[in-house]
Amino acid sequence: MQVGFALADRHRSERILMKAAKEAPMTFFEEILTRRAAEAGITLTDAQIAQFAVYNEMLTDWNTRMNLTALTSPEDVAVKHIIDSLTAYDAALFDGAKMLIDVGTGAGLPGIPLAVYAPHVHVTLMDALQKRVRFLMEVTRAMGLTNTCAIHARAEEAARQAAHRECYDIAVSRAVARMPVLLEYALPLVRVGGTFLALKGRAYAEEAAEGAGLARSLGGGAILARPVYLPGLDDVRAILSVTKERPTPRGYPRRQVK
């Protein structure tokens, strides 16, 4: 019954957003996002564009009162936040997934864009700072998202709890920590057969090599790299992926990850 209500709420929110999107002229941000998404080969519906417009407005507003991001221009939010987050999407992984966790989500990236783009996946947004969790709760509510929850937790603690350990089909992170640290935080949360995705910049090959041994120790396979392109930028980025092949030994994650 609760699932039925959740689906009904989601469909109702989508209808409201689509109606609003059709009745109102496109804002500057919406025009940029629509154009840049098309250049990246990403198709967004009117309802999704409207949801991302709400995210942009609330991000820039809340950022005046707390430190969520240094990038707040319409172009930066569209490309470096939303489209960058969506580069983690891979239909082969997401089509069969039900549960995803975003480790160290910060301003909800990449979790919120992925929740919009893959509404059949339940997305857990995890962050260690309570005031960021308040933002996440408010912005997902305003966007009409019913497939997300925001939790206040440290990854190294959550990964030792039965409610989270080896429970997720996909774990993602866009955090600035090096790959070995992210692996130790995130891979214990992934079920056997699931995948950890890390969004990385130009040093991705070096980080993949740096984390290869630890990935195996944590129950993962090889670290694979998928280069990605962001429209209008000439920098180098890639999605690093690790498939969970075996359960993570009980000693991980360690209390003090270095």
Point out the annotated binding site: 104, 109, 155-156, 174
User: What type of residue is 238?
Assistant: A
Residue 121, φ and ψ in degrees, nearest 5:
-100, 130
Residue ranges with strand state E in 1-154: 99-103, 122-127, 148-152
> In whole angstroms, what is the distance from residue 29 CA to residue 37 CA?
12
| Residue-level length of the chain | 258
Helices (H), 187-241: 204-217
**First vs last C-alpha separation in the chain:** 45
In this structure, what DSSP letter does residue 246 have? S
> In whole angstroms, what is the distance from residue 134 CA to residue 129 CA?
9
Binding residues for S-adenosyl-L-methionine: 104, 109, 155-156, 174
What angle, rounded to 10 degrees, do the helices at 28-39 and 46-62 form?
120
